[in-house]
Amino acid sequence: MSDSEPRGLARGLTNYGDAGFSLYLRRSFAKSMGFSAEMLARPVVGIADSRSGFNNCHRHFPDLVEAVKRGVLSAGGLPLEFPTISLGEVFLSPTSMMFRNLMAMDVEEMIRAQPMDAVVLLGGCDKTVPAQLMGAASADRPAIQLVAGPMMPTSFEGERLGACTDCRRFWALYRAGRIDAAGIERIESNLATTAGTCAVMGTASTMAAIAEALGMSLPGTAAIPAVHADRLRAAEASGRRAVELAARPIRPSQIITEKSIENALRVLLAIGGSTNAIIHLAAIAGRVGAPFSLRRLNELSDSTPVLVDLKPTGQYYMSDLYAAGGLGAVLRELAPLLHLDCLTVAGETLGERLAREQGAWVDRTVVRTLAEPLAKEGGLVALFGSLAPNGAILKRSAADPGLFEREGRAVVFSSLEDLAARVDDPSLDVAPDDFLVLQNAGPRSGYAMPEAGYLPIPQKLARAGVKDMVRISDARMSGTAYGTIVLHVSPEAAVGGPLALVRTGDRIRLSVRERRLDLLVGDDELARRRSAWRPPAMPPARGYAKLYMTHVLQAEEGCDFDFLRRA
Ligand code: FES
């Protein structure tokens, strides 16, 4: 933003061929909303509101918007909220992932097209925060991310329940016949009982932590529960700070850099965060032209301990992390591993922030020290090999180490329909040591990479007490899920990656120690299968689906659209 650029309502005038007329017309229409000339002369702070009746996680946004407005007004700005697409995780078909880029485009274009000097981004549910960060990075106007905050867990029949690790735990018990229909119905009413995002370290909480680690949210705000009064105070503070940013701009491109992306990856590893965040960070990095590599992820993973004891890998909930000291406690522990010179949206460097917070109280049952971590290595690793030449991801902190070094027989499902039709068939030829393989669930599969990588344990094995198996796919997995699950295999099956060539009975070797995933089939046989391979049949696409299918990139490039990355 240059000093000569018009500010406030004078910014980016509608083109009628007469700039004076355009501004006069804009002011007169703005006055129809009852604003005085004094108010209209103020710096404008946009509030990107992703509330929707189809998004339970954002149901408290009207209160947050009011608090942001209060902050903007008290600092001398003019707050103007505007709606954007909202992505309620469980309300979208085929999957919210398909629409993340659409929301990112909406956010980017509305920030750029409307006259605002800074923007506060209100998001929370899984894909909304990455979409807002991607859009804001590309628009490159001063922006502050304000997240929804997590739900509170619910006390229920002697234990605490929280979406959505417990959703899966109880569903697995129901599938195994250990809870009856009435029981699962009672659980259903008690898993998600407040406003806010999933209560564990799922994708939403991970992306909230990443937004703060990148420096795009105000310090200390990532973990505040949605219903806590501090969340409203964070909203007010974000509005106030946005007015300061309008006067002295710090742009997203100054905050989101190669170094801050590395900081975010360190935090992702230390919190045992969601596998989805790797895709989102790759996409965010691509928007600012910062390098991003899964091999670098492995280097960082080898030197970043897991410090936070939260579900799905640990015991506690996000509200416990807030009470234990919040993300600041994690960042202070990680400080020797972080780039402390990274600038934050608060106007200070990360190092200055952490120095200011030295000595703050920390509950060590929830946030461990570097010297006594929960695990010495990070929660996520990338695997490479003949089955995944461009990489695959395993959340080792949520997996069974007893399954890490082994060879198994592939039991292949060629599509999601095939999986649904056969996985619970009592005659399915499957044993606990087999590797379940799902094909054609990647970005270009027509399903838009759903969170289907958490393949159910075949019912006959589940009933026999089998809790985990090696599962391999080009799909994603919910951040709240757990198991020995290899995801994001790239290139995906639908574009002819080696995953498409696997047949039931093939041997596959997994070695987490060596970071390898190999298909043990001879080259001649693979060449024969490749020449017979045809892409899956898909219905003709139109509109956004066509744009998506034409331009979506593979997982290691963040599943962004090729034309949205910075060249
Ligand atoms: Fe919105 Fe989990 S459903 S964060």
The per-residue pLDDT for range 501-518, each reduced to its tens digit, is 999 999 999 999 999 999
Distance from Cα 447 to the centre of ligand 1, integer Å: 20
- Which ligand 1 atom lies nearest to the CA of residue 88? 1
DSSP β-bridge partners for residue 490 = 391
Rounded Cα–Cα distance for residues 49 and 160 (Å) = 31
Question: Is pLDDT at 3 greater than 80 in this prediction?
Answer: no
Ligand 1, CB within 6 Å, residue ranges: 57, 89-90, 125-126, 163-164, 197-198, 202, 204
**Closest to 454 measured CA to CA, from 331, 277, 275:** 275
User: Looking at ligand 1, which residue's alpha carbon is closest to its atom 3?
Assistant: 89
Output the pLDDT for position 2: 57
- Which ligand 1 atom lies nearest to the CA of residue 163? 2
> Residue 5, exposed/middle/buried by CB under 10 A (0-12, 13-18, 19+)?
exposed
User: Looking at ligand 1, which residue's alpha carbon is closest to its atom 1?
Assistant: 125
Q: Residue range 156-175: average pLDDT?
A: 88
Token pair recorded at residue 90: 């469980």
Q: What 3-state DSSP class applies to 486?
A: strand
Given ligand 1 and candidates 198, 205, 311, 318, which is best to mutate, with the most ligand atoms within 8 Å of its CB?
198
Distance from Cα 197 to the centre of ligand 1, integer Å: 5
Output the pLDDT for position 1: 53
Question: Is pLDDT at 389 greater than 60 in this prediction?
Answer: yes
Given ligand 1 and candidates 125, 165, 193, which is best to mutate, with the most ligand atoms within 8 Å of its CB?
125
Given ligand 1 and candidates 126, 129, 311, which is best to mutate, with the most ligand atoms within 8 Å of its CB?
126
Given ligand 1 and candidates 87, 89, 167, which is best to mutate, with the most ligand atoms within 8 Å of its CB?
89
Comparing 202 with 175, which gets the higher pLDDT?
A: 202
Residue in the block written with tokens 């046989």: 525
Distance from Cα 202 to the centre of ligand 1, integer Å: 8
Q: Kindly report the average pLDDT of the chain as a whole number.
A: 96
- Per residue in 466-511, pLDDT (tens digit) is 999 999 999 999 877 789 999 999 999 999 999 999 999 999 999 9
* 264 band by pLDDT with thresholds 50, 70 and 90: very high
Complete DSSP assignment for 263-311: HHHHHHHHTT--THHHHHHHHHHHHHT----HHHHHHHHHT--B-B-BT
Distance from Cα 196 to the centre of ligand 1, integer Å: 8
